[in-house]
Chain A
Amino acid sequence: MTLDHRYNQLDSLRASLSVVVYPLQLAVELPGTVTSWFRESLATRRQLQEENASLQTQLLMLKTHSQKLQSLEVENIRLRELLDSSFEVGEKVLVAELMVANLDPYKHQVLINKGELDRVYPGQPLLDAEGVMGQVVHVGPYTSTAVLITDTSHAIPVRVNRNGIRTIALGSGTINRLDLPYLPNNADVVPGDLLVTSGLGGRFPPGYPVAVVEAVQHDPGRTFANIVAKPTAKLDRSSEVLLVWPGKTPVRESDVSVHVDTDPAEDRAAAAPPDTQAAEANP
């Protein structure tokens, strides 16, 4: 136990043993898979049409957004170059699915269906469509375990999107709450502020939404304000998650028009089976 806790000596052992329990995990998932398969194949034409229409509308809106984003990104890089600082874009993402298995109810952990064979690595950031979910802690060949940002052992460096104040958001052990205990009483934070990853610490890529400030309490007797935030990611509802490989290469303006990715994982993306579509977050 000490070996596992202190020295991570047993990581390889845990990884190989996780193959042993993989069939059990698959067996637990089976009923859910069968039901969703039935639901899909028995869906009526009308339902499918409605879903299709709503997805089309959503796609149109997202496309409009991404057009704007592209020009903004180029402008951002140009401005940053004026300031002589580099900007990192070009992150690689992979869609993974959560496996339906309840782990220890007092630890906020999830099991995902991608492992070492998909080049998942410990410490890798995990996102969903709305924000940051957590990071990978144990990697097995076929599955990996990720800890959510609300776990009590987790802390994530964040920045207030409105004014750039940096702080650290701690997990509270409650699925819809993060605590920000290190902001002084006079810090300019109001309810509704969006917290995004600051990228400090080098683990999470900068700029992804993490949480929205819910309540700010100033207690004059204490040095630090009592701030509570609500994660934007649907931590207990998402079934599909994104694994991110943060880009390591600074990108110049001239490169932006072409696809920028020097990640070696790219050739794997081409060879990947169709359900593991690796896509680039690079818009």
Chain B
Amino acid sequence: MLARHRGDGVIIVTFLTALLLTIVPLPDWMRYIRPDWVGLVLIYWCLALPERVGVSTGWLTGLLVDLLTGTLLGQHAMALTIVAYLTLKFHQRVRLFPIWQQALTVLVLLVLHQLLALWVSRFIGRPAPPWYYWAPSFTGMLCWPLIYLFLRSLRRGFRVS
């Protein structure tokens, strides 16, 4: 991203924080319900600033997630690209939803992200994960109101537009 607009730094910092949270060590039981921070932040910025954060940002951050988590290069990149695309497609509608309805939409997007990642990993011959593989999507949905309010206050505080 070039420093053309106001608040590029804020966006980059939120993405970096999300990446950090993705690999920060947690106790074992919490590892499996760790929300998909990068996905949530990406969805927020796609909703808020669709003309600045979009498919290419999704691809780039997805690539970083792949590097950080040691998955196949491109697995999360592809999934987040598609998530970003869909968010952009529906951003005008979703923006007007009340927050709980937004959370449900986010759930669908996060499940899609996991589904695509799962599809790739099954394709390369990894075994089927247990049922709690899907837990991060639901914790992500529960986190959405917090993320939304927090990032919105950040955006208004720093007047990112």
Is chain A's binding surface mostly helix, strand, loop or mixed? Answer: mixed
Is the C-beta of B23 less than 8 angstroms from some C-beta in chain A?
A: yes
Q: Nearest Cβ distance between residue A150 and chain B, in whole angstroms? A: 13
Contacts of A103 in B (CB 8 A): 23, 68-70
A14 to B32, CA, bound (A): 26
Contacts of A13 in B (CB 8 A): 73
Is the C-beta of A40 less than 8 angstroms from some C-beta in chain B?
A: no
Is the C-beta of B157 less than 8 angstroms from some C-beta in chain A?
A: no
Count the B residues whose beta carbon is within 8 Å of the partner chain — how many? Answer: 30
- Known contacts being A4-B73, A24-B16, A138-B70, is A105 close to B25, with CB within 8 Å? no
Contacts of B75 in A (CB 8 A): 1
Cβ contact within 8 Å between B31 and A102:
yes
Contacts of B121 in A (CB 8 A): 106
Q: B residues 44-95 with Cβ under 8 Å of A?
A: 63-64, 67-75, 78
A145 to B72, CA, bound (A): 13
Cβ contact within 8 Å between A28 and B64:
no
Cβ contact within 8 Å between B69 and A104:
yes
Is the C-beta of A173 less than 8 angstroms from some C-beta in chain B?
A: yes
- Known contacts being A10-B73, A13-B73, is A1 close to B120, with CB within 8 Å? yes
Cβ contact within 8 Å between B23 and A102:
yes
Cβ contact within 8 Å between B78 and A1:
yes
- Known contacts being A1-B78, A1-B120, is A104 close to B25, with CB within 8 Å? no
B99-111 vs A, CB cutoff 8 Å, 1 = contact: the mask equals 0000000000000
Is the C-beta of A20 less than 8 angstroms from some C-beta in chain B?
A: yes
- Known contacts being A106-B129, A152-B126, is A24 close to B70, with CB within 8 Å? no
A100 to B31, CA, bound (A): 13
Cβ contact within 8 Å between A1 and B24:
no
Contacts of B34 in A (CB 8 A): 102, 105
Q: B residues 100-132 with Cβ under 8 Å of A?
A: 120-121, 124-127, 129
Cβ contact within 8 Å between A107 and B71:
yes
Contacts of B63 in A (CB 8 A): 17
Is the C-beta of A185 less than 8 angstroms from some C-beta in chain B?
A: no
Count the A residues whose beta carbon is within 8 Å of the partner chain — how many? Answer: 30
Is the C-beta of A27 less than 8 angstroms from some C-beta in chain B?
A: yes
Cβ contact within 8 Å between B16 and A152:
no
A14-53 vs B, CB cutoff 8 Å, 1 = contact: the mask equals 1001101100110110001000000000000000000000
Contacts of A17 in B (CB 8 A): 63, 67
A42 to B63, CA, bound (A): 41
Residue of A14, A28, A105, A152 near B73 (CB, 8 A) is A14
A13 to B74, CA, bound (A): 12
Q: Which partner residue on chain A sits nearest B68 by CB separation?
A: A21
A89-122 vs B, CB cutoff 8 Å, 1 = contact: the mask equals 0000000000011111111010100000000000
Cβ contact within 8 Å between A1 and B133:
no
Contacts of B64 in A (CB 8 A): 20-21, 24
Q: Nearest Cβ distance between residue A32 and chain B, in whole angstroms? A: 8
Interface pairs (7), CB distance under 8 Å: A1-B73, A101-B23, A102-B26, A152-B126, A152-B127, A153-B125, A173-B127
Known A101-B68, A102-B23; 20 more pairs at CB < 8 Å: A4-B73, A5-B124, A18-B67, A21-B64, A24-B16, A24-B64, A25-B68, A28-B20, A28-B25, A100-B25, A101-B23, A102-B31, A103-B68, A103-B70, A104-B71, A105-B32, A107-B126, A152-B126, A153-B125, A153-B126
